[in-house]
Amino acid sequence: MQFMLLFSRQGKLRLQKWYVPLSDKEKKKITRELVQTVLARKPKMCSFLEWRDLKIVYKRYASLYFCCAIEDQDNELITLEIIHRYVELLDKYFGSVCELDIIFNFEKAYFILDEFLLGGEVQETSKKNVLKAIEQADLLQE
Amino acid sequence: MALKMVKGSIDRMFDKNLQDLVRGIRNHKEDEAKYISQCIDEIKQELKQDNIAVKANAVCKLTYLQMLGYDISWAAFNIIEVMSASKFTFKRIGYLAASQCFHEGTDVIMLTTNQIRKDLSSPNQYDTGVALTGLSCFVTPDLARDLANDIMTLMSHTKPYIRKKAVLIMYKVFLKYPESLRPAFPRLKEKLEDPDPGVQSAAVNVICELARRNPKNYLSLAPLFFKLMTSSTNNWVLIKIIKLFGALTPLEPRLGKKLIEPLTNLIHSTSAMSLLYECVNTVIPILKSPVLARNNTVFLYVEKLYFVFFPPTVKYLGLLAMSKILKTHPKSVQSHKDLILQCLDDKDESIRLRALDLLYGMVSKKNLMEIVKKLMIHVDKAEGTTYRDELLTKIIDICSQSNYQYITNFEWYISILVELTRLEGTRHGHLIAAQMLDVAIRVKAIRKFAVSQMAMLLDNAHLIASNTQRNGICEVLYAAAWICGEFSDHLEESNQTLEAMLRPKVTTLPGHIQAVYVQNMVKLYASILQQKEQAGEKEAAQEITQLMIDRLPQFVQSADLEVQERASCILQLIKYIQKLQIKEVPVAEEVIALFAGELNPVAPKAQKKVPVPEGLDLDAWINEPPSDSESEDEKPRTIFHDEEQRHSRHRQPEIDEEELARRREVRKQEQANNPFYIKSSPSPQKQYQDTPGVEHIPVVQIDLSVPLKVPGMPMSDQYVKLEEERRHKQKLEKDKKKKKQKKEKKGKHRRHNSLHTESDEDIAPAQHVDIITEEMPENALPSDEDDKDPNDPYKALDIDLDKPLADSEKLPVQRHRNAENLKSPDTEAPLVGKKSKKPKKKEKKHKEKEREKEKKKEREKKVTEEGKKVVCVLSATYDIQGNLQNDSQVTVSVIFENKSTSFLKSMELNVLDSLNAKMLRPEGSSVHDGIPVPFQLPPGISNEAQFVFTLQSIVMAQKLKGTLSFIVKNDNGSTHEKLDFKLHFSCASYLITTPCYSDAFAKLLESGDLHMSSIKVDGISISFQHLLAKICFYHHFSVVERVDSCASMYSRSIQGHHVCLLVKKGENSVSVDGKCNDSTLLSNLLDEMKETLSKC
């Protein structure tokens, strides 16, 4: 996976994670372009689209769009599952997560993502283990 | 109450936390930018304070602002400060900020190296974890090089939490620092069998990613992954493994055969769509191999599955998978043509483009016209120029693919092209033009028709060129003008066309098109002139000349230099012709001679493929670069002088790449500055016009059932109908013939005939089209090296992992913290197992240190250092490997390293042959001659040389004595030195690691023609896993099956002996039972093994 973006229906970026080193300018350009493209799509359209030489996999949960960029050979369906798994994790952690949770605790959202994915690859496939790691790290923080 | 408010505002003023910031931004919707700039000012204040908590808070807020698109790179140093906080709370925030905003261009990043190293070795696993996570986002080549060793150590950390992170991050490290791959790979491979499933899946992930880019280096891991695949139940891991197999199967067809069954089972049993999708994607390419072509049941099943993928949200995948099936089973996809054509109407552009791709692969002679007709309808309907342009290019691609293979009627194609010119606002005018030119040049039979169509285009040029916005399309006029000019003898209404080309409107066209007009109107003029003269119509000939003289001046006044120049040149020519005409001299023959000869198409690579004549060195100087004082007129002499010398001289292979590149650069510059240098030579087409063959291709007359001239603008549709009729007629005729045959050969071939359907081959083209193949120079080089992208980041990882590690390949280790971790025995875990390494040293002073195989790398390094003190000059390590091609040869690779400060040269290796083992010497040399080492060694350099030995019998170990002589050259002169050494060929070195599946293994054991023997070794303390690894590594075995503390292993000798082992581990002992075709070999092998094991 090359990067993951979360943005609202209004086009506001809520979370971004880049697994490829890019300059800020490039990141901004990509984000703007993708948010526009994805928001312009109708609800019944396919969750996959080709964009530059990458494939974009996105899914909408309530008012948030989760959007990942993968390479040509990657499995689109597993990417959808990754998105879903991440939503589940957020849900478990915050207790029925909503957009505001992510806005106000954006660093937590990042920490959860970092326990789940590393360098764009799935790091831990067990939900339980991810949450356990986060809980323990949080304990340490207090 | 009031107090509380005041207190709150004071709090907020001094310490606004993230929540407050977010809330503030939400409350200042109107003046967000202003509010944020205010906040940034506050943050700058906070960063100046000493309190780390305040700083961390500020950095946290900055991270949020960064997401909103504000630049926070100015705070990079503060982020590092927070990263180095001792409290985890702050450290976590620091690393998060760093991972969000650091990139390779961040200059402070190198300051982090030590901090990260410290965090990596922190006793708190979460400190380490957070450092690894952060590093994965901003690792640079420098960081990768400096930290590779630390991360590699973490791969064997006690906590699985750290292990899995370390394993995953290694992939990023490999990408940034490819040299680390080989040293780290053995441990990575080990992690495939880690007890923790998380670590295991991380290792699978990394190896899969690596293998996908360079599959051939990972073939040897296939049996291991196969085992993992059959045992794993984790879908995430399974998908990765199956993807890996997808990359390996093209290289190893046997693997595909093996995979079909488990994959089919998975397809049937799994409920996870993603896994299903992956399995199907991997199965499809396997099915194409001829062995499995019969396995159609799987395939039919697969095809059905695709309807699972046709709901709108995943339709894209369905199409994608279809395109994969298409490559192997085109017929089955063709039946879904309508479904795919429907997708062209989809709102989603990705889907439309995929569908177009599919159509591209689906066309055949039979359905081309139909598909293109449908596409033409879409072209008319399509909204948005991008998609329409895409359609246009696809139509052209579809028709022109594989040398116009599917076009049966070129008249139809030309009319399609002409229809396409009516497209508004397309950018691809030049593409259509190129096609017109290509077809007209290469398909001789079509020229007449093409010319008539092009004449019509020229006549209607005002339609095409009228709108300035449509100027993309006026490129076709370029083609039209050229075709009409070049093939003007086919033109029926030449006068009319000439007039069309001379219209004043033409001057509004782009310059390069006008230039072509001017040039081609002369060709046209020449042919008219000839006609008229032959017909004896002198007046008409003079009229046409007058017309030219009247109209050409409008081009002479053109602002475009090219047009101007050509026009004035031609005007003068025609004025001269007029003079001759007045004198009643026949001129047509001479004018036509100006354009004699025919153009042949030249292959695009022709120039590149012209072989370099022998003795010609393109990179050598023709004459030495001129010194400043040298005057120009002296040069020619030097050229001749130099050339004479060159004849006797051979190519110099010694010139290294760098030097060549430099010279090339210099030469290029010189050429650029030299006004007399002709840049990029013109295509050599004229040269080849007499090539035999082209002229003799019989050109068959055009089928007259097709009207030659279509009134008005052509309509491609009518061709579709005509074509259908024609095919029908053909079919009827054929059927008739068949029936006749049937009567003649009653019964014999009944089955064959009754099965007859209209297949592609049955359709004869309408015109006999000779597509003139493109010219290639004689004796062109056959090599077709595809130009690989040199910038591919994964190319650097194309590293042979089977080769043993060389000393120079060790990861850089920080001096003061060095060693201890590395000394653990796992460090030297088996490489992939094919070759073993038996380091041995030779030192000056004839002190030979015979070294044992099991020496750890660390130790070897120490000795090397000691050796330096004893003025060691040369060190050599060797390894022996069996030759797969030849059953009685082994190759000994020796790495020589010059450890002195002198230059070593004239190295020569000689061995005293024994009865059984002989060194392979070049023919004609006696057994006492040594073999020269093909290189010299400057100080500090190492290089590898290979020597081949032939062996009669391989059942026993061998020792060969030998000497290495060399000359040491330094400032004090040169001395002749000699080294004695022994080469030890152990029985294990005749074995080749060969994977064996358990069923084959069982059969082998049952066969009963194997001898048996066994050994037992006591006092073994190492783990069983480790023990097996040792046997694999040093004795070239592979594990067939392992159950608890018992394992079966297999290997094969270069002469085809099977060796099977059963290894059992007791409390403190190990017993090895062996079976082999040869009892001597077996007992020798077991003895060697005993020696290895007793050292454990």
- Contact (CB, 8 A) for B250 and B289: no
* pLDDT at res. A30: 92
Q: Which of the four pLDDT bands, split at 50, 70 and 90, describes residue B646? A: very low
DSSP state letters, B50-73 = S-HHHHHHHHHHHHHHHHTT---G
Q: Does B841 score more than 60 pLDDT?
A: no
Collect all residues of chain B within an 8 Å Cβ-Cβ radius of residue A104: 18-19, 22
Q: Which of the four pLDDT bands, split at 50, 70 and 90, describes residue B411? A: confident
Q: B696 φ, ψ to 5°?
A: -90, -5
Q: pLDDT higher for B841 or B877?
A: B877
| pLDDT single digits (tens) A122-140 | 888 888 888 998 888 888 8
Single out the residue of B482, B688, B477, B484 nearest to residue B598, CA to CA. B688
* pLDDT at res. A3: 92
Collect all residues of chain B within an 8 Å Cβ-Cβ radius of residue A134: none
Q: Does B551 score more than 80 pLDDT?
A: yes
Collect all residues of chain B within an 8 Å Cβ-Cβ radius of residue A110: 96, 100
The pLDDT of B83-91, averaged and rounded, is 89
What percent of chain B stands above pLDDT 70? 73
* pLDDT at res. B530: 87
Q: Would you list the domain boundaries of chain A?
A: 1-139
| CB neighbour class for B937 (10 Å; exposed up to 12, middle 13-18, buried from 19) | buried
* pLDDT at res. B290: 55
The pLDDT of B734-745, averaged and rounded, is 59
Angle at CA B451, nearest 5°, toward B446 and B457? Answer: 130
| CB neighbour class for B301 (10 Å; exposed up to 12, middle 13-18, buried from 19) | middle
Displacement of CA B83 from its chain's centroid (Å): 40
What the block records as the tokens of B310 is 């046709």
Level-2 CATH architecture, domain A1-139: 2-Layer Sandwich (3.30)
- Contact (CB, 8 A) for B229 and B242: yes
| pLDDT single digits (tens) B528-545 | 888 888 888 888 888 888
- Contact (CB, 8 A) for B170 and B189: no
Q: Please report, for residues A71, B175, B191, B513, B859, the alpha-carbon distance to residue B797 in angstroms, rounded to integers and kept in the order given.
A: 18, 7, 20, 49, 29
Selected residues 272-311 of chain B with any CB under 8 Å from a CB in chain A: 272-274, 277-278
Compute and round to an integer the Cα radius of gyration of chain A: 15
| CB neighbour class for B893 (10 Å; exposed up to 12, middle 13-18, buried from 19) | middle
What percent of chain A stands above pLDDT 70? 99
Polymer length in residues for chain B: 1096
Q: Min CA distance, A74 vs chain B (Å)?
A: 9
Longest alpha-carbon distance in chain B: 120
* pLDDT at res. B740: 58
Q: Does B599 score more than 60 pLDDT?
A: yes
Helix, strand or coil, per DSSP, at residue B491: coil
| pLDDT single digits (tens) B1004-1020 | 888 777 888 888 888 77
What the block records as the tokens of B32 is 């967000």
d(Cα B47, Cα B78) in Å, to the nearest integer? 7
Q: Does B790 score more than 80 pLDDT?
A: no
DSSP state letters, A3-71 = EEEEEETTS-EEEEEESS---HHHHHHHHHHHHHHHHTS-TTS-SEEEETTEEEEEEEETTEEEEEEE-
Chain B nearest-CA residue for A15: B67
Displacement of CA B1002 from its chain's centroid (Å): 41
**CB pairs < 8 Å spanning A and B:** 148
The pLDDT of B651-660, averaged and rounded, is 58
Q: Which of the four pLDDT bands, split at 50, 70 and 90, describes residue B648? A: very low
Q: Which residues of B251-262 are buried (b: 16+ CB within 10 A; e: fewer)?
A: eeeebbebbbee
The pLDDT of B170-193, averaged and rounded, is 89
Angle at CA B533, nearest 5°, toward B529 and B536? Answer: 145
Q: Which residue in B92, B132, B138 is closest to A141 by CB distance?
A: B92
Q: Please report, for residues A69, B130, B171, the alpha-carbon distance to residue A1 in angstroms, rounded to integers and kept in the order given.
A: 6, 20, 13
- Contact (CB, 8 A) for B825 and B856: yes
The answer to whether A140 contacts B126, with C-beta atoms less than 8 Å apart, is: yes
* pLDDT at res. B641: 45
* pLDDT at res. B262: 84
What the block records as the tokens of B188 is 């990575």
* pLDDT at res. B759: 46
* Residue at token pair 């007793």: B1094
The pLDDT of B639-645, averaged and rounded, is 43
Residue B771 per-residue DSSP state: B
| pLDDT single digits (tens) A51-97 | 888 999 999 998 899 999 998 888 888 999 999 999 999 999 998 88
Q: Min CA distance, A123 vs chain B (Å)?
A: 6
Angle at CA B873, nearest 5°, toward B871 and B879? Answer: 130
- Contact (CB, 8 A) for B333 and B367: no
Q: Which residue in A44, A104, A121 is closest to B168 by CB distance?
A: A121
The pLDDT of B485-510, averaged and rounded, is 85
* pLDDT at res. B818: 38
Taking the alpha carbons at both ends of chain A, their separation in whole angstroms is: 33
Q: Which residue in B60, B171, B350 is closest to A119 by CB distance?
A: B171
Question: Other CB atoms closer than 10 Å to residue B294's CB: what's the count?
Answer: 9
The answer to whether A46 contacts B313, with C-beta atoms less than 8 Å apart, is: yes
Q: pLDDT higher for B434 or B705?
A: B434
The answer to whether B243 contacts A50, with C-beta atoms less than 8 Å apart, is: no
DSSP state letters, B325-380 = HHHH-HHHHHTTHHHHHHHTT-S-HHHHHHHHHHHHHH--TTTHHHHHHHHHHHHH
Q: B998 φ, ψ to 5°?
A: -65, -35
Q: Does B691 score more than 60 pLDDT?
A: no
Q: Which residue in B64, B132, B138 is closest to A21 by CB distance?
A: B138
Torsion angle in degrees (nearest 10) through CA of B221, B227, B233, B239: 30
The pLDDT of B39-56, averaged and rounded, is 87
What the block records as the tokens of A128 is 């339980």
The pLDDT of B720-733, averaged and rounded, is 70
* pLDDT at res. B306: 58
Q: Min CA distance, B395 vs chain A (Å)?
A: 21
- Contact (CB, 8 A) for B1030 and B1092: yes
Q: Min CA distance, B103 vs chain A (Å)?
A: 5
| pLDDT single digits (tens) B855-891 | 333 333 333 333 333 345 677 777 777 766 677 788 8
* Residue B263 φ/ψ region, left for φ over 0, alpha for ψ in the -120 to 50 degree band, beta for the rest: alpha
| pLDDT single digits (tens) B279-312 | 878 877 777 655 555 455 555 555 555 555 566 6
Q: Which of the four pLDDT bands, split at 50, 70 and 90, describes residue B930? A: confident
Q: pLDDT higher for B715 or B460?
A: B460
Q: Does B3 score more than 70 pLDDT?
A: no
Residue B856 per-residue DSSP state: -
Helix, strand or coil, per DSSP, at residue B917: strand
Per the DSSP assignment, residues forming a β-bridge with B879 are B893
Q: Which of the four pLDDT bands, split at 50, 70 and 90, describes residue B357? A: confident
Q: Does B163 score more than 80 pLDDT?
A: yes
Single out the residue of B915, B946, B923 nearest to residue B933, CA to CA. B946
Q: Which residue in B104, B169, B312 is closest to A119 by CB distance?
A: B169
* pLDDT at res. B775: 60
Question: Other CB atoms closer than 10 Å to residue B381's CB: what's the count?
Answer: 11
The answer to whether B274 contacts A75, with C-beta atoms less than 8 Å apart, is: yes
The pLDDT of B123-152, averaged and rounded, is 89
Q: Does B412 score more than 70 pLDDT?
A: yes
Q: Min CA distance, B824 vs chain A (Å)?
A: 27
Q: Does B9 score more than 50 pLDDT?
A: no
d(Cα B1051, Cα B975) in Å, to the nearest integer? 47
d(Cα B178, Cα B159) in Å, to the nearest integer? 27
* Residue at token pair 């390419």: B285
- Contact (CB, 8 A) for B241 and B200: no
Q: Does B478 score more than 80 pLDDT?
A: yes
Q: pLDDT higher for B450 or B879?
A: B450
d(Cα B852, Cα B837) in Å, to the nearest integer? 10
* pLDDT at res. B94: 92
Q: What is the average pLDDT value for chain B, to the nearest integer?
A: 75
d(Cα B905, Cα B515) in Å, to the nearest integer? 66
Chain B nearest-CA residue for A79: B274
| pLDDT single digits (tens) B1041-1053 | 888 888 888 888 8
Q: Does B111 score more than 90 pLDDT?
A: no
The answer to whether B96 contacts A23, with C-beta atoms less than 8 Å apart, is: no
* pLDDT at res. A70: 93
What the block records as the tokens of A40 is 């312009």
Helix, strand or coil, per DSSP, at residue B1047: strand
B447-459 and B429-442 helices, crossing angle to 10°: 150
Longest alpha-carbon distance in chain A: 45
Chain A nearest-CA residue for B315: A46
Average the pLDDT over each of B87-91, B273-277, B743-747, B835-839 and give the range with the smallest value.
B835-839
- Contact (CB, 8 A) for B1076 and B1085: yes
d(Cα B739, Cα B54) in Å, to the nearest integer? 96
Q: Which residue in B140, B197, B350 is closest to A50 by CB distance?
A: B350
The pLDDT of B398-422, averaged and rounded, is 84
* pLDDT at res. B251: 84
| pLDDT single digits (tens) B1019-1043 | 777 888 888 888 888 888 888 888 8
pTM over 0.80: no
Per the DSSP assignment, residues forming a β-bridge with B877 are B895
